[in-house]
Structure 1
Amino acid sequence: MPVVDYVDLDRFMGDWYVIATIPTFLEKDAYNPVETYKRDNDGTIATTFTFNKGSLDGPSKVFRPRGFVMDETTNAIWGMQFVWPIKADYRIVYLDDNYQQTIIGRNSRDYVWIMARTPSISEQDYTKLVDVVESLGYELDALQKAIHAK
């Protein structure tokens, strides 16, 4: 799975709204999904994934995995640890020049996340990002658009 040439980690930090995903079991029936990254002093990435379960006003769920940069040449390959000692494959496979839209993929092509700094993007941008997902070998039948409160 190819990754971007380089990620400026400081620019990548902050909130990313999930626009579409092939969801993990944790994300099924997630509304308002947002992933937030913050660099810690030890070089790891404190991650907070929040969403409402079942509906826009459903109960709030929060997960706090930790990201580990696995390739310091590109900063684009991470291990995402939900449970010690397992670090799940997490690859930044697309990132626009302005750090406003990204795609996170996995070598196994089982999950993917299209994310943006805003809760919605233009249909033109969405189509372009879906085309990238397809070009990476993903089955688009499983891709689901996320729903955010307006």
Structure 2
Amino acid sequence: MKFISLLISSLCLLIGCSASKPDNVEPVTDFEAERYLGTWYEIARLDHSFEEGLSEVTATYREREDGGIAVINRGYNAEEDQWDEAEGKAYFVQDRQTGWLKVSFFGPFYASYVVTRLDQDYQWALVTGPDKDYLWVLARQPSLPPKTQQQLIAHAAELGYNTDNLIFVDHSNSQSADTAK
């Protein structure tokens, strides 16, 4: 699968950045992992080869027995007419109350996952990776109210992200990540 191969390659490049976070970006505090679990829709992203051409992208998080979080990223590849999926694991960098995790989809190689903005009702999140080349706007539904989306993008721009390069994910044929096979 192209998605998994590219994901692994990209994450291997990040090995030196395993738990870093971008300058002037802070993770949320008072983070409640249990409320973050479940399925999130990718609303917008800075594009990378491991997600190139994917629509209907979701991330599903579940508790692991070892205290970590299981991660399933899923997206539809129209060119190949198939669903691509990558399974990984995540662990907290500081503590469970800080939205800063390290995520691995391949063995010992980890990349940062920093929740830098989070709705008080856990309905949307702004997430970054180890540097300002990685940014995701996530929501519990396939779309966000325009005002909320604009505010998140404006905040990302203030932090120094190139929001002109955001790709908005097509969810026009959206199915639940649990039911789409």
Scaled by the length of structure 2, the TM-score of the pair is 0.78
> How far 1:41 sits from its partner (Å)?
1.4
One-letter identity of the residue aligned with 1:31: S
Residue number in structure 2 paired with 1:82:
105
User: Is 1:10 the counterpart of 2:10 in the alignment?
Assistant: no
> How far 1:24 sits from its partner (Å)?
2.5
Structure ranking higher in helix proportion: 2
Structure 2 distance, partners of 1:125, 1:18, is 14
User: CA-atom RMSD, angstroms?
Assistant: 1.5
Residue number in structure 2 paired with 1:132:
155
Gaps of 5+ in 1: none
Identity of paired residues, percent?
24
Superposed counterparts of 1:18-33, under 5 Å: 18-33=42-57
Residue number in structure 1 paired with 2:20:
none
> Number of residue pairs matched?
149
Structure 2 distance, partners of 1:107, 1:62, is 22
1:14-33 deviation digits (Å, cap 9, x = unpaired) = 00000000122111101100
> How far 1:137 sits from its partner (Å)?
1.1
With over 3 angstroms needed to count, the CA separation of the structure-2 counterparts of 1:47 and 1:73, relative to structure 1, is closer
8 Å Cα contact 1:9/1:75 also seen in 2 = no
> How far 1:73 sits from its partner (Å)?
5.7
Superposed counterparts of 1:1-150, under 5 Å: 1-54=25-78, 58-72=81-95, 74-150=97-173
Structure 1 segments (4+ residues) deviating >3 Å:
none
Gaps of 5+ in 2: 1-24, 174-181
8 Å Cα contact 2:111/2:130 also seen in 1 = no
Structure 2 distance, partners of 1:20, 1:127, is 11
Structure ranking higher in strand proportion: 1
Scaled by the length of structure 1, the TM-score of the pair is 0.93
